[in-house]
Structure 1
């Protein structure tokens, strides 16, 4: 690791690896993104899971209602066939 630190120090001090203002902008945006993921990630994931559960509940309720309507239609058809 000492060689790596020495190499980075040499490259930066001799301006072989130039760090302009865009480098620092990217570095700060990267740090902010990491902090946002660490701090806000669990909160957003919990909210998204709740929304998904609501949507799935609505779909399940609609499916069960449709199955009940179809079962009632089958029973009505059986009754009509028996009457005929």
Structure 2
């Protein structure tokens, strides 16, 4: 997992976060009417912009994880080789 602090809140990022928010609310707040959801949604972009330290957690793609694990295994192998010689 990659975690980082957002430096610039671009329109595409805000749209993506708004989409994630809406998907989450639709699943967890089934008691909200469509009208209620739409009304709440109008406040979300400003709320995101008001967060002082906005952190994003992203899953690392499978290939990137494998490459990282491979690099770690190589380092361990080199370390073991140096210790054994």
TM surpasses 0.5: no
TMscore range, shorter length:
0.3 to 0.5
Structure with greater helix share of residues: 1
Question: Greater Rg, structure 1 or structure 2?
Answer: 1
Give me the TM-score of the superposition, normalised by structure 2. 0.40
**Structure (1/2) with the larger strand percentage:** 2
TM-score scaled by structure 1?
Answer: 0.41
